[in-house]
Amino acid sequence: IITTFLLAYIVFTIASLPASQVVSRIALPKNIQIAGVNGSIWNGNLQQLAVDNTVINNVTWQINPSSLWRLSLVVDAQFGGNRFDGPVGKATVSGLISQQVKVTDAEISVAANDVVTQLPMPVPITASGMVNLVLPEFELGKPVCQVAKGTIDWKNARVSAFQEEISLRDLNANLGCEQGALVVEINPQNILGLEFKAYVRNFKKVSGTGHLKPGANFPQKLKPALPFIGRADSQGRYRLKK
């Protein structure tokens, strides 16, 4: 009984510590910055989390109490909102103590234009709509993942190029993990005739190959951009490589 009481006392004492005191003692990587830490380790809030060029606002978390008794740590997190710029979503993170980090039931929505501005485009393009990521299961591994299952959807995709607004209808991709690399494979059933498979082998390097094969449904307003990609091969495909 005494041991149980002492263990419970220690756990709840740590959990009630101000989050700012704990976070200030953590050596974060140089590419990660945080601001506005409030609440406790048990239930806290970050006003802003910046990772490289990505800024996430209004991050809140809550530790699952039952996970403490299993000597584990399960955190339910949410971020963003109608009053905040940047990504919106939620996720459950576990394995932080054992360093076998897993993310489950993640749902993230990002403005399409925030994604496009991070990509090397042959011509200036702006995008509208939201890109939605559903990640039922992700397990951190070397170099990036051990398990990854999910989808990316861009409903009613629209871009503006050459002073024209162009509808791309729906674009989607599947997520997977191959030999430790996170794989993003675009569904070829799209009006662009786009097939592309990208590999994330570390969080700063993305590579991939594919092609663009304009068909009967290819948007006429995008055809002036094709010469910027290169020359078509004998099958009418424009090779893409990153």
* pLDDT given for residue 24 in this prediction: 78
Average pLDDT over residues 124-151: 95
Query: Predicted confidence band at 62 (pLDDT cuts at 50, 70, 90)?
Result: very high
Residue 240's contacts (CB-CB under 8 Å, 6 or more residues apart) are 196, 208, 209, 210, 211, 212, 229
* pLDDT given for residue 98 in this prediction: 73
User: How large is the C-alpha radius of gyration of the chain?
Assistant: 22
Residue 69's contacts (CB-CB under 8 Å, 6 or more residues apart) are none
| pTM of the entire predicted model | 0.85
Residue 207's contacts (CB-CB under 8 Å, 6 or more residues apart) are 198, 199, 201, 242
